[in-house]
Amino acid sequence: MLGLAFTALADDASFFEANAAGSAAFPYLLVGGFHFARVNQLHTDTIALVHSIGRTGYGFSASVQYPHPPTGEKTVGGVAIFNVAHRFLSAYRFKGISVGTNVKVGYRDSSAGGGGKKHVVATADIGLQGTWSVAKNFGSHEPNLWVGGTVKNVGLSVEVDASSSGSSVGGGRTVHATNSSFILACAYQPIRWFLFGTGIEWKYNVQEFAGNNRFRYGVAFLLLPVQYVAFGSNVFLTGLAPDIRASAGVEFKSTWVRVDLTYTYESSGKNQHAISCGIAGFFNRDRRKHLEKEVYTSYLRGLRHYDAQHYEEAIAEWRRTLQRAGSFEPAREGIERATKLLQLNRQVYDFHFLH
């Protein structure tokens, strides 16, 4: 729904193909299923599982591709993705930098009826994501600025019974480099109900660099008029040619489930229309919410002690806050201020005692 900008966000179970660093940001177990269909052509079904332990996330995704029966298309295939990511330097306003990698294994067979080709593909992705909580007019402690980058599909493809160019390895097989891409993207949410993003992609093939080297760039936005509904759209262009891809979609999200539906139009090619839908369930959210409640309750107790000028009690309470969440900077800042005021009060007391 957000196109290239989703490389920066990577915040749902479809992150595998957007940014391998995404799993490090999931504080709960996420299980999802997705269906993508080019009208009157190929269909793709995907299941995904994502979880994290501390600052380390991991996930698995499996996809199967099959033809739309009336077309007579015979191509079938599948892709399995294994993911791991870790978040570094996490704090309260700066949410940290995540680094992740995917290992992909794929298979495609279009040889039904005696023609066509078979492909076995092994590739890897590397992703990087940074998140911040900066200038915004709403009070959520969640991030509102995301920056992401990824190198995708770096690897090799083995083509069986191929007659096209490539480095022959004998037995009617050729090995060639896969088409890869490098993406940079950012997204920003200045107010609660509006998010926008942009991205640029460089698609290339190291083996056929001169003939397979192009740029794509695009913009996206997301409207969140109410708590449980979001509307999104994106458009991006390829080079300077009138090759346009545009999408529009809607998302419904509650505490336990997320459902989305997206329509995509491509100006080039004979199959210009595509539809995708997905559903994902969130598990173990209660544990996270319970910890957040404990942290904020402890922090507010410290604020009440601070307001009553009981600085020693405030410092002790905020230290307990940091035991639960070591990166909760408001408690750390509160300790610094309360310590200074406590020292000042002692200096004033000593001055009066001596005089």
For the chain, the average pLDDT equals 84
What does the DSSP 8-state code read for residue 168? Answer: E
The 10s digit of each residue's pLDDT in 151-177 is: 999 998 888 764 544 444 455 678 888
| 3-class DSSP assignment, residue 258 | strand
Q: Is 81 left (phi over 0), alpha (psi -120 to 50) or beta?
A: beta
Query: Mean pLDDT, to the nearest integer, of 216-222?
Result: 92
| 3-class DSSP assignment, residue 11 | coil
The 10s digit of each residue's pLDDT in 259-310 is: 999 999 988 766 778 999 999 998 876 566 677 788 888 888 988 988 888 8
Radius of gyration of the chain (CA): 26
Tell me what pLDDT residue 54 has.
Answer: 79
Q: Which residue has the tokens 């200045």?
A: 190
| Helix-helix angle 329-354:311-324, to 10 degrees | 160
Q: Greater confidence, 350 or 22? A: 22
Q: H or E stretch including 284?
A: none
Give the pair of three-digit tokens for residue 186.
């950012």
Range in 128-132, 207-211, 229-233 the model is least confident about: 207-211
Tell me what pLDDT residue 201 has.
Answer: 93
Range in 62-66, 208-212, 253-257 the model is least confident about: 208-212
What does the DSSP 8-state code read for residue 19? Answer: -
Q: Which residue has the tokens 């060639």?
A: 176
Tell me what pLDDT residue 66 has.
Answer: 87
